[in-house]
Amino acid sequence: MLTMTLKGAIRGGIAALALISAAGFAAAQDVADVPRNQTLVLTPWGDQPAQFANIENWNPYLTSITKQRDVMQFTVNEMLFYTNLNTGELIPWQGESFSYSDDFMSATIKLRDGVTWADGTPFTSADVKFTLEAVRDAPPEINGSAAFNEWVASVDAPDPLTAVIAFKKPAPRFVRDYMALGHENHYPILPAHIWQGQDMAAFTNYDPAAGLPMGTGAYRLVATSTGQQIFDRRDDWWGVTSGFEDAPAPARIILTPVSSDEAMGQLHIANQVDGGRQLLIGTFEAARAQNPNLVSWNAEGPVWGAPDGCMYSIFFNNMVEPWNDVNLRRAVNSAMDRNALADIAYEGAMPTSTFAFSGYMAGTWLTPDSPLTAMLDSYNVDNPSQEDVDAHMAAGGYERDAEGFWAKDGERIDFLVRTPAFIQPLLAPITQQLIDAGFDARQGAVDDTWLPDMQLGNFGTMLFVHCGSLSEPVETLQHYHSKWARPIGTAIPNLIAGFRYENPEMDAIIDRMEAIPASTDPASPYMQDAVAALDIALRDMPLIHLIEEYHVVTFNSTYWSGWPNAEDPYVAPYTPWEAFSLVIHNLKPTGN
């Protein structure tokens, strides 16, 4: 519920949100006033602190800095290509096209003529070469360093508009996954003339007098503080000067922090924000009742939102006891009533899931006659059954103690249910379902300790998101590869693979799949391997998928129209994805 106390506090604190002076900002110039109806006000995605941190660090590749995901992706930086995940359409931007050699050992990228950096320097293949090789050679705290080191051998720049990537092994999806997907692939090309000679992990990319941070995007940073980050439209943006694209309509973009679902709902009610953080379904419906200009992906509920390519899942630490026992993992699955979880935690606004194949790929890969569908059906994963719980626990050597809890050799399983704050609605109902099935389960504190513990393997189970297949099965199945596993105490390079699963048989299958193009043909080697890998994943169940994320992405149409939705699905609607830049270019003022 949106309380009156919170409502008054927020109104008092943000009344002048869009009309800002330069006082208190880390900036080298005055910040002019811009009317609210020319200003797009957004918040970062997800759970955030009440104030911005690292306000003078704009390094888009540092894993500890979220600037690229929060705001740089639709202001300062642009991508070579974008993808409309709803249709699979490739949308060229800085690049015009890409192609692979017959053996997939190289890829040639053709760049668009006329693209320039904000200081007027031409955007060329030298920038592509520098970025890919610099990330490849960077330390682990640089996003993408492990993946680029795995795949990229070298990059050649035979002319200013051609970049040729040589791979260490066949890589038929490298350009798509890292430079075109428009999802959580935050790998912008860097200006070599700015970054050359800099320490990738130490360079803050912040010097307003020198125009930093510098990208090719239509906006420049003019002010940064703990309370707001302000970007103004560039009149000299290359898209306009080259005739490629009209200037985006918002004259200014403001990013402001918001620390709770309730606060975000009230900001929408007061027309103080246009988009950003998702809302819980109850908050959305309550806010929409007070402000009918609020819209989401679907025009009607209860499923208001769109898929985001992730599943809410129970991650088991497969390297520690007792969670390395498949009998225990399968028993936990049999204890889960997914429909009840979706109804209790999300009021039926999110669909249940049995594997991390997202709604974006379901229509292509999970048709009724698909062998993947047949494999999923054969395991009957979504079948809550106390009888099955009992059978799996007995197979693992467990029996009920005097109080009815599962134990082995007189020792109960200590089932601590932990989760990040953004999955907190599932915490209580999952804990209760486990208790009902005989597990001595308890809720863990919802704090920031989950992240380092998961990175280092200091956990038994964790509720987390498994994000994967947007286009094809291997995007999810690859996370079952042993290459992601690390010994307990060593940071894992890919948190989505944080279940630390190791299986040489699976490794061989994934290696084969990654070396060839995808195919839905049931007789193709790719599909046969996909089915075999799915079989192993369902058999070993190193993690359990429960619910597919369908966030109630909320936009305010008071000042701006043209938001993506199910009727006009020109791009997926998520602000932290690279393709949200296309939304900025699609917005139109309403005249209010």
pLDDT digits (tens, 9 = 90+) for 342-383: 999 998 899 999 999 999 998 899 999 999 999 999 999 999
Judge whether residue 10 has pLDDT over 80: no
Distance between CA atoms of residues 178 and 81, nearest Å: 10
Distance between CA atoms of residues 494 and 177, nearest Å: 15
Which pLDDT band, with edges at 50, 70 and 90, does 390 fall under? very high
Q: Coil, strand or helix: which one is 588?
A: strand
pLDDT digits (tens, 9 = 90+) for 335-346: 999 999 999 999
pLDDT digits (tens, 9 = 90+) for 524-573: 999 999 999 999 999 999 999 999 999 999 999 999 999 999 999 999 99
- Nearest C-alpha neighbor of 322 from the set 382, 381, 392, 380: 392
| Segment (H or E) for 427 | helix 427-436
| Residue 29: predicted pLDDT | 52
- Provide, rounded to the nearest whole percent, the portion of the chain with pLDDT above 90: 88
Sign of CA dihedral 529, 532, 538, 543: negative
DSSP string, 133-198: HHHHTS-TTBTTHHHHHHHEEEEEEEETTEEEEEESS--TTHHHHHHT--SS---PPP-HHHHTTS
Q: Is 0.85 topped by the overall pTM?
A: yes
- Nearest C-alpha neighbor of 23 from the set 264, 297, 230, 319: 230
Based on its alpha-carbon atoms, the radius of gyration of the chain, rounded to whole angstroms, reads 24
Catalogue the E-assigned strands of 225-356: 229-233, 252-255, 294-295, 306-316
Q: Is 81 exposed, middle or buried (0-12, 13-18, 19+ CB in 10 A)?
A: buried
The encoded tokens of residue 372 equal 């993947």
| Segment (H or E) for 278 | none
CB-CB neighbours of 507 under 10 Å:
14
Which pLDDT band, with edges at 50, 70 and 90, does 64 fall under? confident
Judge whether residue 466 has pLDDT over 50: yes
Q: Coil, strand or helix: which one is 536?
A: helix
Judge whether residue 514 has pLDDT over 90: yes
Residue 461 CA from chain centroid, whole number: 21
Which pLDDT band, with edges at 50, 70 and 90, does 297 fall under? very high
The whole-chain average pLDDT of the chain stands at 93
Cβ pair 46, 467 in contact under 8 A? no
| Residue 50: predicted pLDDT | 87
| Residue 196: predicted pLDDT | 97
- Cβ contacts of 10 within 8 Å, gap of 6 or more: 263, 266, 267, 270, 272
pLDDT digits (tens, 9 = 90+) for 421-447: 889 999 999 999 999 999 999 999 998
| Residue 79: predicted pLDDT | 98
Which pLDDT band, with edges at 50, 70 and 90, does 183 fall under? confident
Judge whether residue 45 has pLDDT over 50: yes
| Mean pLDDT to the nearest integer, 64-83 | 96
pLDDT digits (tens, 9 = 90+) for 123-136: 999 999 999 999 99
| Mean pLDDT to the nearest integer, 313-339 | 98
Judge whether residue 482 has pLDDT over 50: yes
| Residue 26: predicted pLDDT | 46
Helices (H) and strands (E) in the chain, counts: 20, 22
Domains and CATH numbers, the chain: 4-50+218-302+552-589 (3.40.190.10), 81-195 (3.90.76.10), 306-550 (3.10.105.10)
| Residue 493: predicted pLDDT | 85
Cβ pair 223, 22 in contact under 8 A? yes
| Residue 184: predicted pLDDT | 83
Cβ pair 80, 94 in contact under 8 A? yes
